[in-house]
Amino acid sequence: MMFGRSKRITPVIIAIEIFLLAVVVLINLPFFWMLSTSFKPKPEILSYPPRLFPSAPNFNGYTYVWKLIPLGRYFYNSTVVSISIALSKIVLASLAAYAFAKIRFKGSKQMFYLFLGTMMIPMEVIVIPNYITLNYIGWLDTYRALIVPFVVGAFSIFLLRQFFMQIPRDLDDAAEIDGCGRLRYLFTIIYPLSQSALLTVFLYAFLASWNSFLWPLIVTNSDKMRVIQIGLKALQDSWMIEWNELTAASTVATLPVLIMFFFVQKRFLEGIAITGLKG
């Protein structure tokens, strides 16, 4: 019985692994510094030489920031908006992607390229027209203003369309012979086969919405509707910044994304890997 030879460890491989480990540490150093600063007493925050770990960790930054701003309300708004946008993009983008990938109709490629063209339009270009529209219909300072303009995106359609095109046509023909309708085929066959791609779209949409700053700043006026990124900005005074409160709030804002990615990273990376560029 033959067994594959184990990979030989050479000095070059060891050097590459050490280099990659150093890169990982360097990339994650800002997050660890933020987390450490959130537990430091105020005298140690700007001490020289700087301390990586606090000598006497405390939760003063976390307790104070919840009293200083309505962080819970900001967190709730960000969660509602981000999940709503992510779910709506999965539903609407998958319907459009299914049409572009599986339904042959006149002008489908031209329409798809037109959708892709919208990806080249910067957000800053459409901010004013969108604001005027929402102001005219009375949606400012509401969840609708934060959610509706982003319920579908060309990138999500593109990503799902490329994945759907990899599903064999034999399944399409078999479903058609069995009398399976288009929506039933989408929900019972394509969706189960596309879990990784759908999860990738969800995470991209959730992360983009969670980190959004410019649009929520423009369309919200009250603390009741502001999101967590606006709350972080509120902690920065014109003359000084309370770094332990700011880093504590930033840690709270970052943890949900890290926890979500930790649990779904395998499926997320799988979705990135298997979503090809078939045209």
Q: What is the pLDDT of residues 79-94, one digit of tens each?
A: 999 999 999 999 999 9
Rg (CA), the chain: 24
The DSSP H or E segment spanning 52 is none
Query: Token pair for residue 21?
Result: 């480990």
How does pLDDT run across 59-117, given as a tens digit for each residue? Answer: 888 888 888 888 889 999 999 999 999 999 999 999 999 989 888 888 888 888 888 88
Q: Name the residue with higher pLDDT: 264 or 238.
A: 264
Query: Which residues lie across from 241 on neighbouring strands?
Result: 236
| Nearest-angstrom CA–CA distance, 17 and 7 | 14
Highest mean pLDDT among 45-49, 135-139, 164-168, 187-191: 135-139
- Give me the mean pLDDT over the 32-37 stretch: 87
Under 8 Å between Cβ of 40 and 51: yes
Span 253-264, pLDDT tens digits:
888 888 877 777
Cα 241 from Cα 176, distance rounded (Å): 63
pLDDT of residue 87: 94
pLDDT at 133 exceeding the cut of 90: yes
* pLDDT number for residue 237: 63
Instruction: Report the alpha-carbon distance of residue 266 to residue 90 in Å, rounded.
Output: 19
Of 183, 203, 186, 206, the residue nearest 194 (C-alpha): 186
pLDDT of residue 216: 93
Straight-line distance from the first to the last Cα atom of the chain, in angstroms, rounded to the nearest whole number: 44
Greater model confidence, 56 or 264: 56
Give the dihedral sign, CA 156/162/167/170: positive
What percentage of the chain carries pLDDT values higher than 70?
A: 91
Is residue 38 within 8 Å of residue 61, measured between CB atoms?
yes
Distance, CA of 82 to CA of 247 (rounded, Å): 22
